[in-house]
Amino acid sequence: MKIVIAPDSFKGSASSREVSQWIENGILSVIPDCETIKIAIGDGGEGTLDAVISAGFTPIEVEVSGPTNKTVQSKFGMRDSTALVELAQASGLSQLPGNKLEPLIATSYGTGQLIKFALDHGAKQIILAVGGSACTDAGAGALQALGAKLLDGQGREIRQGGAALRECQKIDLSSLDSRISEVEFILASDVTNPLLGANGAAHIYSPQKGATAADVETLEGALTHFSQIAGSAHVNTPGAGAAGGFGYMALTFLNAQARSGIEIVLDLVHFEKQLAGADLVITGEGKFDAQSLSGKAPIGILEIASKQSVPVAMICGQAALNSSGEIVKKFHSITALHAFESDINKCITRPGPIIEKIAASIAKSVAS
Encode pLDDT of 273-297 as tens digits. Answer: 999 999 999 999 888 765 655 557 8
Single-letter residue type at 291: Q
Classify domain 2-41+274-367 by CATH architecture.
Answer: 3-Layer(aba) Sandwich (3.40)
- Residue 239: which region, alpha, beta or left (left: phi > 0; alpha: psi -120 to 50)? left
Provide the percentage of residues in the chain whose pLDDT is more than 70.
96
DSSP 201: I
Q: Kindly report, residue by residue over 62-111, the tens digit of the pLDDT.
A: 999 999 999 999 999 999 999 999 999 999 999 999 999 999 999 999 99
Tell me the three state secondary structure of residue 14. Answer: strand
> CATH 3.40.50.10350 spans which residues of the chain?
2-41+274-367
Q: Report how far Cα 264 is from the mean position of its chain's Cα atoms.
A: 11
State residue 294's pLDDT score: 55
Q: Is the pTM of this model over 0.85?
A: yes
CA distances from 50 to 30, 40, 53, 61 (A): 29, 7, 5, 13
Residues of the chain with CATH 3.90.1510.10: 48-261
pLDDT category of residue 238 using cuts at 50, 70 and 90: very high
1-24 pLDDT, tens digit each = 999 999 988 877 888 889 999 999
> What is the band of 48 on the pLDDT scale with cuts at 50, 70, 90?
confident
228 confidence band (pLDDT: 50, 70, 90) = very high
Per CATH, the homologous superfamily of domain 48-261 is Glycerate kinase, domain 2 (3.90.1510.10)
